[in-house]
A and B are shown apart, each in its own frame.
Chain A
Amino acid sequence: MVAMTPAGDYRTSYRADTTIFPTRNSRIALFIGLALLCCAPLLLGRYELSLLINIGFLGIAALGLNILVGFTGQISIGHAAFFGLGAFTSAWLHEHLGIPVMLCIPLAGIVTALIGLVFGAPAARLKGLYLAIATLAAQFILEDFFARARWFTGGVAGRMTESPVLFGFAFDRDETFFYLTLAWVVIMFVAAANLMRSRDGRALVAVRDHYLSAEMMGINLAYYRTLSFGIASLYAGIGGALYAHYLLFVSVEAFNILFSIQFLGMVIIGGLGSVMGSLMGAAFMVMLPEVTQWGAEALAGSAIDQALRLGASISFLREMVVGAAIILFLIFEPDGLARRWRLIKAYWKLYPYSH
């Protein structure tokens, strides 16, 4: 879709034409949004903050998967395993090598990226369903590794972690950890937006859209297909590391295939091939069970509640709603929330006209 820019907004330099936020209004909205987020710990309760933190680290990991699935057109159903690998790596690096947690987080991302490159190597040759099965293998290999490698993961007991500390300041409460997550979200999303407007980002999209002509344009298919796994794993690793140092405990069972499917759900719902869509998808996936719960509580005692026993079935009702959301999005809005958001913006801009 062509970006809708207001009349009279002329760009007079190529620099102005290649900015991430194209109009003045979008930049103002960005600053207001960031300012509001910075005030969030003052305005919101503990629980709401923890939801925002969840959206943050899941959003980072979802963005990684979106670079792989949405931008490069590959598929991975083992993303949660890399998320877990990041979590364990960061915890292990801190405990065994004594590296400060603040450094462990990016290091975990790099280690995960390297492992991701290894598992991404088949992607240079496989496509579609076959690649999906290969990544499924990655999921199970890593899950099995987590369960067996007691030295690394603490085995069944799991692994305790510690809060990040920077110059004596501990990010050990929701109010402070929120800022750390926010900083990483901003860094990782800006990096992705930058990537997409430079050489290698375009190459990834070219590989997705038409790999034969991409090759004729001088793009090394094997390199970019593998690289996209590496970048996806980098994001998963950093998201996972934040998760580990937020929950302060990493359990082996958390990173199963269902979690991987949830990441795919975030990417589909948010919008394949959209940077901001990844965050929207993560927000949707975090908020949906909350809304379901809230809906069930609101209906408590009513005729519907009595007929369906909502109170008793709330746990699997949450799972079902997530599944239904993915299906409905695939049918009615395959381009996800990102496209819906663009349509809403266009609607306001053109009001009261429809076109």
Chain B
Amino acid sequence: MDTVTITMKNAPALYLEADTISPDAFAGKSAAQIAELPVFEGNNPSTLGKYFEVTGNAGATAADTRIVVKGDVKRVKYIGFRMTAGEIVIEGSADQYVGGWMKGGKITVRGNVDAFAATAMKGGEMVIEGNAGNYLGAAYRGDWRGMSGGKILVKGNAGSDVGMYMLGGEIVINGNCDVHVMTHAEGGRVIIRGNAASKLGGQMVEGDIYVFGSIDVMMPGFKPVDEVELTVDGTKAKFAHFIGDTGERHKKKKGVVVYGNLYKKI
């Protein structure tokens, strides 16, 4: 695997939309060719090399390419956009849409990510060592197809609207989580090891939410059914089991109504 290191040297005056920072766009290119890749600063077309120092050549394919992003990229959006393979390591914090529509490969962020990380993610892996913003693994504005595959681990806290319209895959949040989790979801699961706020599983059709800590306010559409012993993310514990959202439509599988599940550790 060949490593390309891009280091922020001239910070953009406006937000940078850099959907070309991905192993797929870099694959087969030399450092000089990578510096020529197009980006937008605000609505002005520009090139990656204007802002970043690029060292190292990419591998022949996306899978053979590792990208290390150094320097302050807090104002850079769309890193890892639509990536299918390979690896990205962001040493600091990044702006919105990190790993949006990604299908494969791995993204590691040492710092925080802003909103809309892993929007409509289909596969691959994302590790956020700091905190995640709002709408992690959610659907794009107006869309009904959120994260459908892959795995996200947030070591810190997450913002609101995690897994909105989620269809599949897994999100693990080691810290706490803000309001609205898996709203409108039709699959997948979200594990919150810390505390959750309120409105978990609103209009949820299918999917699973696990909460290890406290829940400020339960949705009225969830009803307790039983207590179960489960091994969740490597931890064995006893959980109170709720089903819902009872105010939402639900499919039947083999004559049995399938609800969304909320498990709260006892």
A complexed with B: no
